[in-house]
Amino acid sequence: MIFYMQKNKTILLLFLLIFLSACIQNNNSFNCENGKTYFVSRIIDGDTIEAENKKIRLNGINTPEKKEACFNKAKEFLEKEILEKKVLIKEKGTDKYGRIIGSVCVNGKSVNKELIKQGLAHYAFTESEELKKIQEKAIKENKGCLWKKGTDKYIQEKCIKLKKLEFNQKNFNGEFVEFSNDCNYSIDLNGFYLKDEATHLYFFPAIELKGKSFVRVFSEKGINSGNELYWGKGNIWNNDSDQLFLRNEKGFLIVYFEYNNTLN
């Protein structure tokens, strides 16, 4: 009986050690242990670099596109941190463009994580909870270009709200985003832009969102009419998980929303 109990304790301890080991490995998933040494010769943008004639796409993050206000900030951060320096890169395969997907580290720090910590990148849902927690902290602290708050009256009073996000991958005719203006005055939407987790961007035309009214942005092609606007891109929003960003013409965040139906 005593031998049986000791055996059970040994098995339980073994399972516990395996579990803890997996947790530690997950928490270090963006560190570069056993990575390869590269010399960074060029910064392409905030999440893509060139090293020794190879293009490397930073794993698990997305930085602003060229048309976005924060594009240069993320690129400048990489130029300061890793340009013309030796880095460690832990490779995770290649993407459809033939770029190496990897975690980049310099001086013992994960560059992937640092970009999110500094509010210069957002995490991708396909990756770990680790990055999500880092982003949540950056949002709470209004860090960097992505999460800083503007001083415009309509931002301070939180006038613009997301009222509905309708997505349907099989029939995108019904896919739309609806924003409301809960204040009593009009807001000029000229230059505002809407973005998903990927690289889809929609720039609002020169229209005013009147007080106590709404505007809808349909994903499909169509002719703008009144408060109904058309992106013209087909499917935009993923059924499983995505992130939505609405920013004004200066790049200040107006609305952020995320969903993950894979957890249901």
Q: φ and ψ at 161, to 5 degrees?
A: -130, 150
pLDDT score at 1: 52
Torsion of CA 252, 151, 176, 263, to 10 degrees: 70
DSSP state letter for 199: S
Nearest to 56 by CA among 33, 88, 28, 31: 88
Q: How far is CA 14 from CA 6, 28, 37, in A?
A: 12, 21, 35
Model pLDDT, residue 174: 82
State which amino acid sits at residue 102. Answer: G
Helices (H) and strands (E) in the chain, counts: 6, 18
Distance between CA 58 and CA 89 in Å, rounded?
9
| Residues 75, 121: Cα–Cα separation, whole Å | 11
Domains and CATH numbers, the chain: 36-147 (2.40.50.90), 153-263 (2.60.40.1260)
pLDDT on residue 18: 42
Q: Quick one: which of 189, 183, 171 has its CA closest to 227?
A: 189
State the sign of the Cα–Cα–Cα–Cα dihedral 75, 80, 81, 85: positive
Contact call for residues 114 and 84 (beta carbons, < 8 A): no
pLDDT of residue 116: 97
Taking only the tens of pLDDT, the chain with its 264 residues reads 554 445 455 544 444 444 444 444 444 568 888 899 999 999 999 999 999 999 999 999 999 999 898 999 999 999 999 999 999 999 999 999 999 999 999 999 999 999 999 999 999 876 578 999 999 999 999 999 999 989 999 999 999 999 999 986 566 568 999 999 999 999 999 999 999 999 999 999 999 999 999 999 999 999 999 999 999 988 899 988 999 999 999 999 999 999 987 654
CB atoms within 10 A of CB 82: 21
